[in-house]
Amino acid sequence: MKKLCLESNENSTIFTVTGDIASIFSNRRASRYLKDNLQFSLIDDSIIIETCDDINKCIDRVKKICEYISAELVFSGRVSEAVNNYALEEEKFLEFAEKARLIRDNHCDKKDFTDFVNSVSENLSNRSLYELQLLSAYHLAFSQNACNFSVPGAGKTSVVYGAFAYLSSLPKDDKKYVDKLLIISPLSAFGPWELEYEECFGQKPSTKRLNGKVSVEDKKQYLYSLDPAKITLLSYASVPSLREELIYFLKNNQVMVVLDEAHKIKNTNGGITANGVLDIASYCSARVVLTGTPAPNGYEDLYNLYKFIWPTKKVIPFEVYQLKDMSKAESDARVDTLLHAIEPFFIRVRKSDLGIPPATEHEPIIVPMGETQRRIYDVIEKKYMSDIVSNRDSSFRQDLVKARLLRMMQAATNPNLLSVPLRNFASFEDFDADVVTEDTSLIHDILQYSATETPAKFVKAKEIIEGIISNGGKVVVWAIYVKNILDFEEYLNSCGISCKTLYGATPVATGDDDDDEVETREKIIEEFHKPDSSFNVIIANPFAVSESISLHKVCHNAIYIERSFNAAHFIQSKDRIHRYGLKPGVETNYYYLLSEDSVDSVINERLNAKERRLREIIESMPIPLFDNADLETGDDDIKALIAEYVNRTKKM
């Protein structure tokens, strides 16, 4: 067979390709591809390539040339560390990717599964995994790099610990062996990860929280230390500033890296956080993606998730712009190809698998605006929509559209929000406030709004709340903007309805000498769960807390005063009161307030469409491996091993 041999200098700035070079130039397609995609020179019988910015892409292009001439690509003994990492990843991918597909398709190796079950029952000494958790952990352990898209409450953390229990028990020279965990997550998840470990293993782990209480210098020194903790907890925001130190840490330890709430890296437009996480991916011994909302806004949201679990491989066979096009179409023939490509690498436990009672989605409640609000909204809509339609500067237009839509959304709920400068919203609505000028004359006109009129949505929400409370219920009210949360809190208090707020400024318990006088979100939630709680209403912001609170045991009602186009936060907020653990017969209610003849109707339609697409992506594909938890189907040997495991551990 023909061969091309690749070697590189120490910094991977120059590649040298030797071997069957003549075959490239005698093949028209190979020759054209080389000239179009790589900067090169021909010296003697070698091709000298000045590498592109992305080393992995450069090697992939050499591999493509190999395909054209039916040649094998081999790596010289003289290659850089980056190229060597690529070669190792190539070897792992061939083994682990095939294993992932076989396991998901229920072609399980009986010995592997027996060894796995025995290891989990022995090492996960304080927790019994239920059948679907056990199967999910098995898939993760043997695919090494995978996604778990299970719904909240399905026990994704326990699945990770089940896989870790097995992988950390392997001989140290096993290529799957890991002995450390790096959890990248929101700060609010640090405590649950530590608590879950103790509940699974029956002992407290050695942990290190690299949070705001630890200086950047101390974080760096820790990552360089010779004896780091078993579990290191780090926020997404901290990753970019610790890039070099994290790479050192990962290269010198056998680390399973877990992205909890991984949709936070979905930004494919050069986001600092996403790029920071992707920069360290190649150095992880195992990679885990956890999120219940993998593609809330479109197929493009999947791109970075799969780039993280296999950074040198093109698991998704499309570019970002193609995925965006697919998201816009009602039906696209390429979707089946996409789903087939990603399916070996993910597991999802659905709400239907957990027997969660279905929720009641009430028809949207159309709320007529007050006279003053209607007048303000109509002026804004007429002016801003005209600006959006007439502007042709694309770079400016994107930020302008976001800013104008934001103002329309605010006016549709509470015109009092218009008095807050756009700059205050620019970061989480993702636009540049500097390129959008305020309409100061309009702002001046609405400054007196709060003194003349109560927002109609406030009045309607209060009516619903009173009905819920009178029947002994509790309710969470979701609002997007902080001023809206505070204004609505003030309104409810003035009506004699006690409530508490949860948003970004509400402190999170650190676990380290917490001040008893500080009212943290954990204390608020604990009080809310009490039968004799002093309040029955929580007003919350999905941007800040939708991923970190669980209210389903006492609260079965959610009112949405306003929503944005962000489907991830919306879907996550719904899951706060509708998740595993609900008793049979419990009715979960969602109430959506839409201002009449406003942008609210468009937001409602878009969120419904995005939620449908998400279900189509991850709910429609069967997972044959899970048939083993069904009495009627599945592999009899695997079912017997599962039954034996459950009987052995059910006393826990």
CA distance 326 to 382: 32
**Can you tell me the mean pLDDT for 148-154?**
89
**Where are the alpha helices (H) located in 124-211, listed in sequence order?**
131-143, 156-167, 190-201
Q: For the beta carbon of residue 473, count every other beta carbon within 10 angstroms.
A: 15
Q: Give the pLDDT confidence score for residue 396 in this predicted structure.
A: 46
**Can you tell me the mean pLDDT for 27-50?**
90
Tell me the pTM.
Answer: 0.83
* Superfamily (CATH) of domain 90-350+635-649: Tandem AAA-ATPase domain (3.40.50.10810)
CA distance 89 to 94: 9
The answer to whether the beta carbons of residues 634 and 627 sit under 8 Å apart is yes
Domain at 360-366+455-618: CATH architecture? 3-Layer(aba) Sandwich (3.40)
The answer to whether the beta carbons of residues 411 and 419 sit under 8 Å apart is no
- CA torsion angle 601 606 607 608 (round to 10): 90
634 pLDDT more than 80: no
The C-alpha angle 314, 315, 320, rounded to 5 degrees, equals 70
Q: Give the pLDDT confidence score for residue 332 in this predicted structure.
A: 86
Q: Domain 2-79: which CATH class? A: alpha beta
Q: Give the pLDDT confidence score for residue 568 in this predicted structure.
A: 84
**Can you tell me the mean pLDDT for 575-593?**
90
CA distance 30 to 24: 5
**Can you tell me the mean pLDDT for 201-206?**
92
CA distance 43 to 214: 54
Q: Which one-letter amino acid corresponds to residue 72? A: E
Mapping DSSP to helix (H, G, I), strand (E, B) and coil, where does residue 400 land?
A: helix
More confident residue, 447 or 239: 239
Q: Map out the domains of the chain as residue ranges.
A: 2-79, 90-350+635-649, 360-366+455-618, 371-452
Highest mean pLDDT among 266-280, 486-500, 507-521, 558-572: 486-500
Q: Which residue has the tokens 């890991």?
A: 178
**Where are the alpha helices (H) located in 343-447, listed in sequence order?**
351-354, 371-390, 394-413, 423-429, 440-446
CA distance 530 to 535: 10
What confidence tier does 543 reach under pLDDT thresholds 50, 70, 90? confident
CA distance 377 to 379: 5
Give, for 433, the enclosing helix (H) or strand (E): none
Q: Give the pLDDT confidence score for residue 173 in this predicted structure.
A: 92
The answer to whether the beta carbons of residues 295 and 301 sit under 8 Å apart is yes
Q: How far is CA 47 from CA 3, 17, 43, 96, in A?
A: 14, 5, 6, 32
Give, for 638, the enclosing helix (H) or strand (E): helix 636-649
Taking alpha carbons only, the member of 29, 21, 25 closest to residue 2 is 21
Q: How many CA atoms lie within 13 A of 339 on its CB side?
A: 17
339 pLDDT more than 50: yes
**Can you tell me the mean pLDDT for 138-143?**
96
DSSP string, 239-272: TGGGHHHHHHHHHTS-EEEEEETGGGG---S--H
Q: Give the pLDDT confidence score for residue 497 in this predicted structure.
A: 96
CA distance 530 to 123: 36
Mean pLDDT check: name the lowest of 264-268, 600-604, 624-628. Answer: 264-268
More confident residue, 619 or 123: 123
pLDDT digits (tens, 9 = 90+) for 503-526: 888 887 766 545 567 888 889 999
pLDDT digits (tens, 9 = 90+) for 430-484: 656 555 555 555 666 677 788 889 999 999 999 999 999 999 999 999 999 899 9
136 pLDDT more than 60: yes
What confidence tier does 395 reach under pLDDT thresholds 50, 70, 90? very low
Q: Which residue has the tokens 């109509």?
A: 378
The answer to whether the beta carbons of residues 628 and 639 sit under 8 Å apart is yes
The answer to whether the beta carbons of residues 642 and 134 sit under 8 Å apart is yes
Cβ within 8 Å of residue 2, ≥6 positions away: 19, 20, 23, 69, 70, 71, 72
**Can you tell me the mean pLDDT for 616-628?**
84
Q: For the beta carbon of residue 92, count every other beta carbon within 10 angstroms.
A: 18
CA distance 407 to 424: 12
CA distance 554 to 474: 7
Q: Give the pLDDT confidence score for residue 620 in this predicted structure.
A: 76
**Can you tell me the mean pLDDT for 98-115?**
93
Q: Encode burial over 259-293: b for 16+ CB neighbours within 10 A, e otherwise.
A: bbbbbbbbbbeebebbbbbbbbbbbbbbbbbbbbb
Same fold, 2-79 and 90-350+635-649: no
Q: Give the pLDDT confidence score for residue 511 in this predicted structure.
A: 60
What confidence tier does 150 reach under pLDDT thresholds 50, 70, 90? very high
More confident residue, 583 or 241: 241
Q: Give the pLDDT confidence score for residue 519 in this predicted structure.
A: 85
189 pLDDT more than 80: yes
What confidence tier does 540 reach under pLDDT thresholds 50, 70, 90? very high
pLDDT digits (tens, 9 = 90+) for 84-94: 888 888 888 88
Q: How many CA atoms lie within 13 A of 270 on its CB side?
A: 0
